[in-house]
């Protein structure tokens, strides 16, 4: 082929590629939110002398371009597939895949964070629980990596040491072991959370250890129609197959009365399973409507007078409905959204057992605990 023709083709192809993408970027409407990454996308930075002289404008403009670039999701996918399939890298943006299970490489144990969490729990124990009659339990939910990473050659935090260390920081709590009940299929493939339909054994273990009678044989499995792309699906860029969310119901669960507290302490009734959230950006939020400071689950048909207070993160949202049959009342407190010192206004610890149910990932990144 004529050499000059090749040169012309090269020049034209690249000029057109660059110019067309630039033009599309300039004229296309800008997006506010990335559903796949579950985050707000950068807006065009303000063009003023302060921003320009500080260099902020340049930095923010680059972020804005990356966030609003034409065909952004396709480019992210190209990068993910290139890095994992062509360069053979075992993770992309720290997300790795084992037989369709996505997980994130662990950071090392952050001692300052676990110390912070233990201090918060100790404060709650000393100020609200110590002199009451109930028992205090702790269960630590290991990250998905506990069952996935090490056996598949990925570096992993030493979860056994992590949990032992944490137990020693809060010796006033009776530990409920659940690690032996978990395997990879108990977690969503594309998300960090566990699957409600797979953790009935964990609910029974907790009930047994807290001396509560609980029957979970009569439940019905329901399906959420919207495909569930978990938090790792978007981060990985690998276009994985979605999960399906199942949720369990029975007469006890259906008859429970749910009370939520808003930010001002006012109460309102809600649902255990929020059908609106099930169709929203994070369908896992269907369990107890996602992030809430205080939630009460009252079981009017309870034969027991026992009450349980659960200090928790999002893992307990799908666990608590399964425990509802064993208690007259369960109060869930999430101290990421309420100051610990304000708990006494919302939670009565007088005759309650208390369960601290936290995931390793939250304990290892606990600055959000108030």
Partner 1 sequence: MLFSSLTFLYMFLPCVTLLYFISPKQTKNFVLLVSSLVFYAWGEPRFVAVMLVSIIMGYVFGILIEKFNERPLLSKSLTVLSVISSLSTLFYFKYANFFIENFSKIFGISVPLLNVVLPIGISFYTFQILSYTVDVYRGNTKAQKNFINLATYISFFPQLIAGPIVRYTHIEKELSQRTHSFEKIAYGIKRFIYGLSKKIILANSFGELCALFNQSSEKTVLFFWIYIISFMLQIYFDFSGYSDMAIGLGKIFGFNFPENFRYPFASKTITDFWRRWHITLGSWFRDYVYIPLGGSRCSKPKMLLNIFTVWMLTGFWHGAEWNFVLWGIYFAILLIIEKFFLLKFLGKRKILSHIYVFFFITVSFVIFATDSPNAALTHLASMFSLSKLPLVSPESIYYLKSFAPTLILGLIISAALLKKMQPAIATSKLAKNTLEVSEIIFILTLFTVCTAYLVDGSFNPFLYFKF
Annotate each residue in 128-167 with x if it binds partner 1 (CB under 8 A) or - if it does not, as one string.
----------------------x--xxxx-----------
| Residue 294 C-beta: closest distance to partner 1, Å | 37
- 180 token code pair: 């032996």
**Whose Cβ is closer to partner 1: residue 11's or residue 350's?**
11
Q: Is 35 a residue that touches partner 1 (CB under 8 A)?
A: no
Can you name the residues that pair with 246 across neighbouring β-strands?
Answer: 223
Residues 74-93, interacting with partner 1 (CB under 8 A): 75-76, 78-80, 82, 87-91, 93
Work out how close the CB of 230 gets to partner 1 at its nearest, in angstroms, rounded to a whole number.
Answer: 19
Q: Binding marks (x or -) toward partner 1, 241..270, rule CB under 8 A?
A: ------------------------------
46 binds partner 1, rule: CB under 8 A: no
Q: Does 69 bind partner 1 (CB under 8 A)?
A: yes
Angle, CA 121 vertex, CA 328 and CA 175 arms, to 5°? 65
Contact between 336 and 369 (Cβ < 8 Å) = yes
Among 14, 33, 172, 341, binds partner 1 (CB under 8 A): 14
Alpha carbon distance 51, 65 (integer Å): 17
Q: At 221, is the secondary structure helix, strand, or coil?
A: strand
CB of 228 to partner 1, least distance (A): 23
CB of 36: closest distance to partner 1 in angstroms? 12
**Cβ atoms of 329 and 296 closer than 8 Å:** yes
Segment contacting partner 1 (CB under 8 A): 57-65, 206-214, 240-248, 258-266? 57-65
Binder of partner 1 out of 134, 230, 237, 325 (CB under 8 A):
237
3-state secondary structure of 117: helix
Helix (H) or strand (E) holding 276: helix 275-278
At residue 292, the 3 state secondary structure works out as coil
The answer to whether 107 and 157 are in contact (CB under 8 A) is yes
Record the tokens describing residue 121, joined without a space: 């729990």
Q: Does 227 bind partner 1 (CB under 8 A)?
A: no
Q: What is the nearest approach in angstroms of partner 1 to the Cβ of residue 233?
A: 15
33 binds partner 1 (CB under 8 A): no
Asked whether 301 and 257 are in contact (CB, 8 A), the reply is: no
For residue 122, what is the enclosing H or E element? helix 111-124
60 is an interface residue for partner 1 by CB under 8 A: no
d(CA 346, CA 353): 16
From 17-25, 165-173, 180-188, 202-210, give the range in contact with partner 1 by CB under 8 A: 17-25
Nearest approach in angstroms of CB 218 to partner 1 is 45
Residue 282: which of 320, 336, 230, 236 has the closest Cα?
Answer: 230
Query: Is residue 21 close enough to count as binding partner 1 by CB under 8 A?
Result: yes
Q: Residue 241 and residue 232: Cα distance in Å, rounded?
A: 12
Q: Does 110 bind partner 1 (CB under 8 A)?
A: no
Triad 91, 97, 142: Cα angle to 5°: 100
**Which listed residue (6, 221, 279, 367) binds partner 1 by CB under 8 A?**
6
CA gap 48, 36 in Å, rounded: 32
Contact of 305 with 350, CB cutoff 8 Å: no
Please state the closest distance from residue 232 (CB atom) to partner 1, in A: 15
Judge residue 41's burial from the number of C-beta atoms within 10 Å of its C-beta, 0-12 exposed, 13-18 middle, 19 or more buried.
middle
> Is 359 one of the binding residues for partner 1 (CB under 8 A)?
no
Which range in 72-80, 133-141, 262-270, 304-312 contacts partner 1 by CB under 8 A? 72-80
**Which residues of the shown chain bind partner 1 in the complex (CB under 8 A)?**
1, 3-4, 6-11, 13-15, 17-19, 21-22, 25, 52-53, 55, 58-59, 61-63, 65-66, 69, 72, 75-76, 78-80, 82, 87-91, 93, 108, 150, 153-156, 237
């Amino acid at each position: 082929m004529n050499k000059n023709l090749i040169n012309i083709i090269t020049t034209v192809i690249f000029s057109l590629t660059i110019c067309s993408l630039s033009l599309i970027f300039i004229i296309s409407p800008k997006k506010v939110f990335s559903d796949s990454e579950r985050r707000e996308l950068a807006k065009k930075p303000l063009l003023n002398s302060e921003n320009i002289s500080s260099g902020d404008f340049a930095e923010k403009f680059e972020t804005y371009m990356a966030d609003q670039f034409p065909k952004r999701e396709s480019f992210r996918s190209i990068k993910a597939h290139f890095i994992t399939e062509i360069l053979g890298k075992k993770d992309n943006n720290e997300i790795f895949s084992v037989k369709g299970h996505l997980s994130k490489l662990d950071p090392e144990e952050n001692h300052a964070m676990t110390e912070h969490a233990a201090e918060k729990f100790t404060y709650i124990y000393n100020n609200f629980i110590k002199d009451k009659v109930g028992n205090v339990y702790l269960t630590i939910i290991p990250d998905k990596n506990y069952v996935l990473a090490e056996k598949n050659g990925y570096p992993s935090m030493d979860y056994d040491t992590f949990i032992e260390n944490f137990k020693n920081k809060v010796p006033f709590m009776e530990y409920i072991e659940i690690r032996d009940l978990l395997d990879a299929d108990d977690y969503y493939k594309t998300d960090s959370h566990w699957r409600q339909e797979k953790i009935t054994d964990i609910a029974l273990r907790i009930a047994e250890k807290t001396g509560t009678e609980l029957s979970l044989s009569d439940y019905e499995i329901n399906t959420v129609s919207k495909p569930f792309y978990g938090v790792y699906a978007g981060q990985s860029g690998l276009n994985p197959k979605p999960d399906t969310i199942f949720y369990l119901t029975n007469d006890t669960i259906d008859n429970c009365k749910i009370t939520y507290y808003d930010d001002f302490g006012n109460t309102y009734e809600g649902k255990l399973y929020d059908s609106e959230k099930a169709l929203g950006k994070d369908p896992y939020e269907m369990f107890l409507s996602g992030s809430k400071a205080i939630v009460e689950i009252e079981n009017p048909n309870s034969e027991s007078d026992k009450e349980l207070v659960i200090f928790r993160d999002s893992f307990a949202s799908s666990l608590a409905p399964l425990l509802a049959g064993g208690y007259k009342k369960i109060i869930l407190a999430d101290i990421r959204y309420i100051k610990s010192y304000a708990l006494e206004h919302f939670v009565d610890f007088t005759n309650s057992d208390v369960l601290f149910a936290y995931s390793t990932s939250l304990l290892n990144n606990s600055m959000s605990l108030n």
